[in-house]
Amino acid sequence: MGESFDMTGKVALVTGGSRGLGYEMAMAFARHGADVIIASRKLETCQEVAAEIEALGRRALAVASHVGHWDELPRLVEAAFDTFGRVDVLVNNAGIAPIAPRSSEITEELFDKTVGVNFKGPFRLSALIGDRMVAAGKGSIINISSTAAVKPSRTYPIYAGAKAALNIMTLAHAFEFGPKVRVNAIMCGPFWTDIAKSWREEADKNSPAAIKRIGRPEEIATTALYLASDHSSFTTGTIIKLDGGGP
C-alpha cells in the first residue's frame, strides 16, 4: 500500500483533522509521505496531532479555524500557503449532526450552524483553494459526506439536507475546477468514532449492513488515499458510498 499511495512531497489540508475520521485521514496521509495542515476549532488538539505527524518525520501545521465562519477561512488558506506554498489535497471533513425530535424545535441559530459547518464552509474553502489548485494545474478535493444525504431521518433533516447539497457541490466543482483538479466525495455510513460514543455499540451490534457492523475509523484511510493519489486520475465527480453495504 505504501508504494501504491505514495504521497511524498504532497501537502494535505484536513478540516476536523484532530479527531475521528479526520484524524485517521491526516495520519494516513502523513504515514504515506505528505505534510499536513490540521484545522479544527481547538488549537490545542490540532497541535497534539501536529506533534504526532512531526514525530513521523513530516511537517505539520496546526490552525484553529471554525469552518462555519465564512470570514475565518481566508486566514486558514493564507496560513497553509504561507507555510507550504501550496495545497495538493483538501479534505472537507469537519461536520456536525445535531438532532431534534421535531423540525419545529430547530432554532434558526442551529439551522444556520448546521448548514454552515456541513455545506457553507466546504463551499467557501473549496472555492478559495480550488482556484489556486487550478492555477497550479493539479489538485484533489475530497468532501466527506454522509449516507444521510440519501437516507434522511426525521431527527436530522438539516444535516441530511446539507450533506445532499455537499454531494451536488462535489459534481459542480468537478466541472468547475476540472480537468486538472479532481473533486470527489466519500459518503460515509456510521463509524465507530469518539463522536459516536452514545450509540456506536448498539449500532455495531444491530447493523443491517452486509458486513454486519459499522465502520472503523481506519477503514476510511484507504479510500481517502486512493482519491488523494494519482492512481485516481480518472475519478472525479464521484460519490463513493462507504457504509459496509448498507440497505
Q: Give me the residue spans of the domains in the chain.
A: 11-242
How many Cα atoms sit within 13 Å of 58 on the Cβ side?
A: 28
* 50 contacts 60 by C-beta, under 8 angstroms: yes
- Helix H segments across 116-220? 121-136, 157-177, 200-205
| Distance, CA of 25 to CA of 147 (rounded, Å) | 19
Q: 11-242 belongs to which CATH class?
A: alpha beta
At residue 2, the pLDDT reads: 46
Please tell me whether residue 180 adopts helix, strand or coil conformation. Answer: coil
Please indicate, yes or no, whether the overall pTM of this predicted structure exceeds 0.85: yes
* 215 contacts 160 by C-beta, under 8 angstroms: no
* 187 contacts 146 by C-beta, under 8 angstroms: yes
At residue 196, the pLDDT reads: 67
Output the nine-digit C-alpha cell for 209.
449492513
| Distance, CA of 120 to CA of 134 (rounded, Å) | 21
| Catalytic residue positions, numbered | 159
Structural Rg of the chain based on CA atoms: 17
Question: How far is residue 78 from each of residues 2, 11, 81, 82, measured CA to CA in Å?
Answer: 30, 14, 5, 6
* 183 contacts 238 by C-beta, under 8 angstroms: no
At residue 190, the pLDDT reads: 85
At residue 3, the pLDDT reads: 61
Which residue ranges in the chain fall short of pLDDT 50?
Answer: 1-2
